Copies of this chain bind each other. A is one copy, B any other.
């Protein structure tokens, strides 16, 4: 479980999720450690950690597009904050969600926008270090 890929993924994950990283990972570890392991190893270790092909900010913006279409709000919330941590502005995030109205319609985009409102406030209230 403490493979090099896991440690590499965990480091990348913490850059994106900040202080929220531990709270996100803990229930996954408790329910099925293997799930937490592949979650760190594959998306974060294998994909996100490659900054040369695509920078972290762009990776988070395309993730927000996908999450709007999927309609999975807990991950939308987490990745909105991750996008802010990786240098995206609130306006860029809101524009991505607004553009999604043309790709997945207003209902899914509306729910993503309302989540953005919540996530922005929570982010402002978080201790920054």
Contact = CB atoms under 8 A, between A and B. Distances in A.
Contacts of A71: 70-72
Q: In the assembly, how many copies of this chain are there?
A: 6
Interface string A42-80: 110011101001100011011111111111101100000
Interface residue range, chain A: 35 or more
Contacts of A117: 27, 30-31
A35 B98 contact: yes
A interface: dominant SS = helix
B70 A102 contact: no
Contacts of A54: 92, 95-96, 99
A46 B35 contact: no
